[in-house]
Amino acid sequence: MTSEQPVIWLAEWFSERAPQRSLGPTENYFEAEVIDSFAVIEFIEAIETHFHCRFDDTDFQDRRFSSIAGLAEIIGEKTRGVDG
């Protein structure tokens, strides 16, 4: 998997759910109100299923978790087996 694949997948996920809103890769998707607390569960499950990884509590506390670019970094670390 290339480092761009998670970014593309995440951007497409948001685009499908909020087509009226263009989200930048470093923009905080919670602050942009593109996702709510209920959709977060669906989002996490979709990521874990698609990328064959599992998040833990420290991932959710990581500041990078709130943007496409940051979350793509975390996914990359998980799929390469690098402990953040």
What is the reported pLDDT for 64?
97
What is d(CA 33, CA 22) in angstroms, rounded to the nearest whole number? 12
pLDDT higher than 60, residue 51: yes
Give the domains, in start order, of the chain with CATH numbers: 4-80 (1.10.1200.10)
What is the reported pLDDT for 1?
61
pLDDT higher than 80, residue 2: no
What is d(CA 82, CA 84) in angstroms, rounded to the nearest whole number? 6
What does the DSSP assignment read for 4-72? HHHHHHHHHHHHHH-TT----TTS-TTTTTSS-HHHHHHHHHHHHHHHT----HHHHHSGGGGSHHHHH
What is the reported pLDDT for 84?
43
pLDDT higher than 60, residue 83: no
pLDDT higher than 90, residue 37: no
**What are the pLDDT digits (tens) for 52-81?**
999 999 999 999 999 999 999 999 999 987
Q: 0.85 cut: is pTM over it?
A: yes
